[in-house]
């Protein structure tokens, strides 16, 4: 068996193990699996001790709380995925967390876990997309090297060598100094990239670098006599147009989006919860996802100030243009 075959078998075995491993091992192997709430500490301990049903009941009780804020709900959703009984249940929760809470602290780990689950069942396109999203959105993550290596493997398997080599170079630059094993794996696959240009820098066209041809010398030719034409008639001046307002005759507004739901009832419920906390929220969209947004501001700066205020209250969100 060659080194290349051994590497492929090891990679496949790693992914298969991730898909089949029980919830206790998945929770231990999670890239960001240190709970901060005592409820999740107990739930994680119960699952790892073999009492998964009781551990998951604790997490379910957190998700069922009617007064749970968006940030706390996202935390509960993450642990619902990390301690899920099956990989399919974990994947469903990870997807919801990524879509509805893109700015939450757990989204980084959820993206990587979701991509790993997709790789185990050989679902390459979504795994590739999620790893690319991870590298784009989490430039400071300590798992950037591992994610880049996984992405490179997927691209090589799909025959995209230039982009695979680009991902491999990204991975190598981000590997922690103490992770010698991962560095050795990256160096092994780097042998495929000898002479392969970076995917972001296409090769120069040979026609652009050809040496210039010296012009031949010809006898001067007398210039023809100019033809005098009458001047063109002046064009009419365009009428001044006033700035076009939007459909409602007012300027665009800005808001802070804090969540998005597949069901309108869930979005309305969050609006009521935020209202009880003194926040004026509304639902945007006539079809899913139904977006929950706070405030309506004339300028982006005012919306950013609200975003900062919400963050201090434990409510993540981002500024977006909204209907006035």
Single residue among 120, 139, 171 that ends a domain in this structure: 120
pLDDT at 34: 62
DSSP state of 207: G
pLDDT tens for 170-221 read 999 999 889 899 999 999 988 889 887 766 543 333 333 334 444 444 444 4
114 belongs to a structural domain: yes
pLDDT at position 11 over 80:
no
pLDDT at position 222 over 50:
no
Given a contact cutoff of 8 angstroms between Cβ atoms, the answer to whether 109 and 125 are in contact is no
pLDDT-derived band of residue 14, with 50, 70 and 90 as boundaries?
very low
Single residue among 120, 143, 176 that ends a domain in this structure: 120
pLDDT at 101: 85
How many domains does the chain contain in total?
3
C-alpha distances in Å from residue 323, one per residue of 114, 211, 291:
34, 57, 12
Q: Which domain holds residue 19?
A: 1-120
For residues 101 and 55, what is the distance between their CA atoms, to the nearest angstrom?
Answer: 24
Given a contact cutoff of 8 angstroms between Cβ atoms, the answer to whether 44 and 27 are in contact is yes
CATH at residue 306: 3.30.70.1070
312 belongs to a structural domain: yes
155 belongs to a structural domain: yes
Query: Do both 10 and 100 map to the same domain?
Result: yes
Alpha helices by DSSP H, the chain: 3-20, 23-29, 38-48, 52-63, 70-82, 87-100, 107-120, 124-137, 144-157, 161-174, 180-189, 264-276, 300-312
Query: In angstroms, how far is CA 54 from the centroid of its own chain?
Result: 33
193 belongs to a structural domain: yes
Q: What mean pLDDT do residues 64-80 have? A: 88
Query: Do both 105 and 133 map to the same domain?
Result: no
Query: Do both 114 and 173 map to the same domain?
Result: no
pLDDT tens for 229-249 read 455 555 445 444 444 444 445
Query: Do both 20 and 127 map to the same domain?
Result: no
217 belongs to a structural domain: no
pLDDT at 20: 42
- Tokens 């005592």 identify what position? 38
pLDDT at position 289 over 90:
no
Single residue among 120, 149, 172 that ends a domain in this structure: 120
221 belongs to a structural domain: no
């Amino acid at each position: 068996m060659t080194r290349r075959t051994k590497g492929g078998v090891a990679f496949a075995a790693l992914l298969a193990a991730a898909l089949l491993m029980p919830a206790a091992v998945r929770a231990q192997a999670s890239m960001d699996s240190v709970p901060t709430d005592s409820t999740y500490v107990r739930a994680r301990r119960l699952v790892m001790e073999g009492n998964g049903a009781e551990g998951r009941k604790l997490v379910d009780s957190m998700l069922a709380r009617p007064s749970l804020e968006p940030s706390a709900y996202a935390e509960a959703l993450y642990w619902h995925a990390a301690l899920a009984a099956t990989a399919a249940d974990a994947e469903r929760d990870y997807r919801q967390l990524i879509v509805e809470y893109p700015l939450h602290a757990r989204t980084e780990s959820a993206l990587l876990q979701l991509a790993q689950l997709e790789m185990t069942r050989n679902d390459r396109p979504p795994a590739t997309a999620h790893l690319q999203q991870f590298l784009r959105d989490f430039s400071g993550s300590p798992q950037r090297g591992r994610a880049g290596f996984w992405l490179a493997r997927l691209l090589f398997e799909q025959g995209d060598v230039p982009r695979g080599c680009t991902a491999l170079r990204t991975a190598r630059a981000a590997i922690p100094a103490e992770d010698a094993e991962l560095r050795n794996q990256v160096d092994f696959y780097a042998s495929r990239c000898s002479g392969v240009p970076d995917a972001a820098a296409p090769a120069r066209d040979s026609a652009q670098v050809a040496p210039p041809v010296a012009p031949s010398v010809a006898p001067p030719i007398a210039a023809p006599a100019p033809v005098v034409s009458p001047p063109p008639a002046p064009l009419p001046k365009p009428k001044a147009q006033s700035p076009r307002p939007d459909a409602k005759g007012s300027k665009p507004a800005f808001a802070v989006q804090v969540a998005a739901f597949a069901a309108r009832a869930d979005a309305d419920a969050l609006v009521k919860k935020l209202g009880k906390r003194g926040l004026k929220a509304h639902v945007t969209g006539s079809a899913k996802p139904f977006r929950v947004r706070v405030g309506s501001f004339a300028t982006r700066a005012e919306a950013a100030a609200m975003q900062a205020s919400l963050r201090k209250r434990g409510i993540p969100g981002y500024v977006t243009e909204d209907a006035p």
